[in-house]
Structure formats: C-alpha cells, structure tokens
C-alpha cells in the first residue's frame, strides 16, 4: 500500500456515507469480534451483523472502502475479514463473478 493510499484511507473515515450506514445505529460490538470468541457465538454474531448490512443503503460504499484500505477486522459491506481477504486474492475478472 502506497503512503498516499494510507492518507486517503484516513480521510475516507470522514466520508458522509458513514452517516447513512445502518450500522451507525447499532452497537459496534456486533461488527467486531471480541477476543477469544468461540466459533458458534461468532457465527451467530456475524449473521446478525450481515443482516444489518444487507438492509444498509450504503453497503457498496462500505465494502469499497474496506477493500480499498484493506480493513483488518470486522464486518464491512456484509463481508468478514476472511471473506474480504479471499475476494482481494482473486484476479479482478474473478471478483466480478463473485457478485453475480
């Protein structure tokens, strides 16, 4: 990641799209795993967080931000950190097919 990308990422947090995000009215703990979270509770928490994301009017902007700055944790744009890493590891042509 270039230095300018990191600076853009810091400015990105000031973007107005975040004001419209469905998650802004939720407890942030729903979107970020606590330390040593077990598999069952994590699966249920992630499902609830993704349900919030799916009804969000700015889901595309959120996911684009998370992919652009390579957010290291949490649910962003209805994807977990592992799902975003997998998405980023695909060539661009394959990424588009994941959205179909």
DSSP assignments along 16-67, one per residue: GGGGG-GGGGS-GGGTSPPTT--HHHHHHHHHHHHHHHHT-TTHHHHHHHHH
Quick one: pLDDT at residue 98?
Answer: 52
Write out the residue range of the structural domain in which residue 38 sits: 3-98
* CB atoms closer than 10 angstroms to residue 4: 8
* pTM for the model: 0.75
pLDDT tens, residue by residue, 31-75 = 998 889 999 999 999 999 999 999 999 999 999 889 888 999 999
Identify which of 19, 73, 65, 20 has the alpha carbon closest to the alpha carbon of residue 45. 73
Quick one: pLDDT at residue 100?
Answer: 45
> How many domains does one find in the chain?
1
């Amino acid at each position: 990641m270039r230095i300018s990308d990191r600076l853009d990422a810091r400015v990105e947090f000031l973007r107005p799209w975040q004001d419209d995000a469905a998650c802004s009215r939720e407890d942030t703990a729903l979107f970020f795993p606590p330390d040593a979270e077990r598999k069952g509770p994590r699966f249920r928490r992630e499902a609830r967080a993704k349900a919030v994301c799916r009804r969000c009017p700015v889901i595309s902007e959120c996911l684009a931000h998370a992919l652009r700055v390579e957010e290291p944790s949490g649910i962003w744009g209805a994807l977990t950190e592992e799902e975003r890493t997998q998405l980023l590891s695909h060539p661009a042509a394959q990424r588009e097919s994941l959205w179909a």
